[in-house]
Structure 1
Amino acid sequence: MKWTLAAALVEADQLLGLAQAAEEHGYASVAMPDSVFYPESVSAKYPYTDDGERFWAPDTVYVDPFTAIPAMAAVTRTIRFYTNVLKLPLRDPLLTAKQVSSMAVMSGERFGLGVGLSWMPEEFAYTGTEMRTRGARTDEAIEIVKAVCGGGGPQWVEYHGKHYDFGRLMISPAPRNPLPVYVGGHSEPALRRAARLGDGWISVNTTSDQIVAATARLRELRAEYGRDHLPFEIKVMPVDIADLDGYRRLEEAGVTECQASPWWAYPADDPTAARHRLDAVRRFADDVIARY
């Protein structure tokens, strides 16, 4: 089992120090979320709360992951980074592939791309993209990113799909090793996308029972697609585990990496203060990572 520092909703001026502390204390990765903007009015319910309401304020910080990750990579040496998750269908896949390939090379190939769809109609409307085709376009975009970042450095690639079509082109720089792509989501289409196209799966904040059920379904689907012999990472954030036995149960189910935002696990007058967050990174490493 490895450990990810989940740096969601963290102020910009704290990220570099947290990445350095995570590297020092044995975390394998830092995960950065993605949110482009907050509409004042939203026409859909948030899918991951019981009441359908967002649990963060409109001015909550979401540093762009393609800005934050290169900055954190520049002040670290070994720790890896991934997006959790990038809303891929809001973006042009070739421009995304260009950014991703450069990030992979400049970080020393310490970057993985976690992708999802986005649930918010306004994000599609205001970025000039289509929500109805988001699943099919995400499938094609994953294929394009994996073609550009398939390893071996810059290569000629072309793509001819329903939604994206281009002739032979080369993007440079490009990584020597294939860039891992992780797919987020708990729906059946999301699990199928992860099993068919992904190098791993990322959970939402959810219970260990739901994670175990999802990992079992992923095993079935990967066998169905003939990909069960390939490496596959499972990165999760359980909301109901606080003991080593619980983490071991997840590892037995196939989980390879657990996410933690440890500042919420230790009481503090201000759990968002920089000093508390740095101390919590160290304490979680002593209390959990080292003992595990």
Structure 2
Amino acid sequence: MRFSLALPMLPPERLLPLARIAEETGWDAVTMPESVFYPEEVSAKYPYTSDGERFWDPAAPWVDPWVAIPAIAAVTSRITLGTNVIKLPLRHPLLVAKTVGSTAAMFPGRIELGVGLSWIPEEFSWLGQDMSTRGARLDDGIDLIRTVLGGGWVEHHGPQYDFDRLRMDPAPASPVPIIVGGHSDPALRRAARRGDGWVGAQVDLDGARDVVDRLRRAREEAGDEARVPLDEDYPVKLTPLVAPTPEAMAEVAEVGVTEVITVPWYFFGGDPSDLGVQEESVARFADEVITPLAGS
């Protein structure tokens, strides 16, 4: 099992120190979530809490992932860096391809792109995008980005995006994995057919078992259209709401999760907003969970 440190809602000056500690103590990856802006009034419910309310403060800082990722990559040497997730339908995929491709060319083999939908109607309307076509544009956008990042002269004539021959340099030396997020049945079908892996949100052990089973069925139903055949490695990433122990994480692995994404400073007590608590918890989680599992 791999372990990825999520860095949500943090002051900008804390991202690099925490990422360095993660690399030094044995974490496999750092991942950045995204929030473009915070509408004072939102006309939809948050899909990942029981009451539909967001759990973060409206003034919480969300550094743009594709500003943070190159900065973190420059001060580390090993860890994988990616997004969980960027809201691809809010932006043109050619521009996303340029950003991701440039980053992956600078830091070969270390960059992933996690993509998903936005649930906030105001993000679409205020950014001039059509929310009703977000699923179709995500599907076509994934195909477009993968084509462009392959390098050389390419063209794309999809149902949502269309262009003649172009090239975008520098191109990454190796493919950038595109990890597809979402818990709904359409999201799981998308992950099966277009994703190099899947990423989810917070769930307990039963929830993890359910969504992994549904994802497996979606991959089976995709058949020859599956992006990754069933007999090949397929990353399954989520945030399990379980105890920070090797035993609990082993149970998560048994249900089919291959990478845990977590924020350890909520586990061990102390003020979770304190930098010292955050730094200590990153090292402690590595010492008490990651290292024992690595040796098992």
Question: Smaller-chain TM-score range?
Answer: over 0.9
Deviation at 1:282, TM superposition (A): 0.6
| Number of equivalenced pairs | 288
**SS in structure 1 at match of 2:129:** coil
Measured in 2, the distance between the counterparts of 1:77 and 1:198 equals 26
Residue of structure 2 equivalent to 1:158: 155
Deviation at 1:165, TM superposition (A): 0.4
Deviation at 1:17, TM superposition (A): 0.6
Cα contact 2:246–2:290 (8 A) shared by 1: no
Residue of structure 1 equivalent to 2:233: 231
Cα contact 1:199–1:231 (8 A) shared by 2: no
**TM-score normalized by the length of structure 1:** 0.96
Deviation at 1:230, TM superposition (A): 3.7
Measured in 2, the distance between the counterparts of 1:105 and 1:212 equals 36
Deviation at 1:255, TM superposition (A): 1.3
Measured in 2, the distance between the counterparts of 1:148 and 1:249 equals 39
Measured in 2, the distance between the counterparts of 1:32 and 1:88 equals 14
Measured in 1, the distance between the counterparts of 2:291 and 2:251 equals 17
Instruction: Say whether 1:222 aligns with 2:219.
Output: yes
Deviation at 1:231, TM superposition (A): 3.0
More deviation, 34-43/220-229:
220-229
Residue of structure 2 equivalent to 1:11: 11
More deviation, 185-194/233-242:
233-242
Measured in 2, the distance between the counterparts of 1:108 and 1:275 equals 32
Deviation at 1:46, TM superposition (A): 1.1
Measured in 2, the distance between the counterparts of 1:87 and 1:146 equals 16
Measured in 2, the distance between the counterparts of 1:46 and 1:221 equals 25
Measured in 1, the distance between the counterparts of 2:8 and 2:112 equals 17
Cα contact 1:201–1:233 (8 A) shared by 2: yes
**SS in structure 1 at match of 2:131:** coil
Residue of structure 2 equivalent to 1:29: 29
Deviation at 1:56, TM superposition (A): 1.1
Deviation at 1:240, TM superposition (A): 2.7
Q: In the TM superposition, what whole-angstrom CA distance separates every residue of 1:127-179 from its partner, at most 9, and x where no partner exists?
A: 000000000000000001111223xxx22111111211000110101112111
Measured in 2, the distance between the counterparts of 1:157 and 1:83 equals 25
**SS in structure 2 at match of 1:225:** helix
Q: In the TM superposition, what whole-angstrom CA distance separates every residue of 1:228-278 from its partner, at most 9, and x where no partner exists?
A: 23431011101133332221122122211111211111111x322222211
Instruction: Say whether 1:92 aligns with 2:92.
Output: yes
Residue of structure 2 equivalent to 1:169: 166
Instruction: Say whether 1:126 aligns with 2:123.
Output: no
Instruction: Say whether 1:81 aligns with 2:81.
Output: yes
Residue of structure 1 equivalent to 2:257: 255
- Give unpaired runs (5+ residues) of structure 1: none
2:204 maps to amino acid: T
Measured in 2, the distance between the counterparts of 1:241 and 1:182 equals 26
Measured in 1, the distance between the counterparts of 2:69 and 2:199 equals 18
Measured in 1, the distance between the counterparts of 2:128 and 2:109 equals 32
Measured in 2, the distance between the counterparts of 1:50 and 1:213 equals 17
Measured in 2, the distance between the counterparts of 1:180 and 1:13 equals 28
- Give unpaired runs (5+ residues) of structure 2: 224-228
**SS in structure 2 at match of 1:271:** coil
Q: In the TM superposition, what whole-angstrom CA distance separates every residue of 1:83-128 from its partner, at most 9, and x where no partner exists?
A: 0110000010101101110011112231100011000000000000
**TM-score normalized by the length of structure 2:** 0.94
Instruction: Say whether 1:202 aligns with 2:203.
Output: no
Give runs of ≥4 in structure 1 deviating > 6 Å. none
Measured in 1, the distance between the counterparts of 2:84 and 2:196 equals 14
Cα contact 1:203–1:211 (8 A) shared by 2: no
Measured in 2, the distance between the counterparts of 1:112 and 1:119 equals 22
